[in-house]
Chains A and B, each alone.
Chain A
Amino acid sequence: SQKIEQNSEALNIQEGKTATLTCNYTNYSPAYLQWYRQDPGRGPVFLLLIRENEKEKRKERLKVTFDTTLKQSLFHITASQPADSATYLCALPPPYGGATNKLIFGTGTLLAVQP
């Protein structure tokens, strides 16, 4: 069955550094992948979508890569700020999803940016 793995341990980095979060998946080749941000007590907020034929996508200080050979997506935040501290979730369509908008979410990685 489809499995999504994100680092369950929190990632602590210093302000100004680049944060890199990992999303690995198995047993499947999804057509796209999404990243969401979730703050405590709030619902997830969509950040970026990357398709299988796109190697890289950028949005301001955010960069996402999608390596279909490694079955991995990397999420980078450059020049990180304390305000970037949150849980970051990756989400993929299920193998059997068909022409629907169903998503399977990872457990998320907590990022803490220290001032």
Chain B
Amino acid sequence: ETGVTQTPRHLVMGMTNKKSLKCEQHLGHNAMYWYKQSAKKPLELMFVYNFKEQTENNSVPSRFSPECPNSSHLFLHLHTLQPEDSALYLCASSLGYRPETEQYFGPGTRLTVT
């Protein structure tokens, strides 16, 4: 256990559905991240929140909408997704957002868009 939990672990949704991914960290960290991991591709950073403020948006399509109500919780709201959005979505946290700070990852949500 890394101290970072994600729910659900698996999600199948149609292109017209709206769903949300949830991430919670129990480590007292201040920075939280969303990554996308597709088969045969490297992890892609999507969003970063530091002390609840969004500090990074890596040109992510608006059909992905993040929300960070506090330093322990992070959500990714999904709507009108495309089949190519099927991937493993990983949440991570770190003590701070300074360089070299070790990132702790959750187990991921395996998303399938049909």
Contact = CB atoms under 8 A, between A and B. Distances in A.
Contacts of B56: 100, 102
Contacts, number: 67
Given A43-B92, A107-B40, A101 B101 contact: yes
Give the interface size class of chain A: 20 to 34
Contact of B99 (A4, A100, A106): A100
A32 B42 CA distance: 19
Interface residues of B, number: 28
B31 A101 contact: yes
Interface of B is mostly: loop
A93 B98 CA distance: 11
Between B48, B102, B108, the greatest number of chain A beta carbons within 10 A of the residue's beta carbon is seen for: B102
A101 B92 CA distance: 12
Contacts of B41: 107
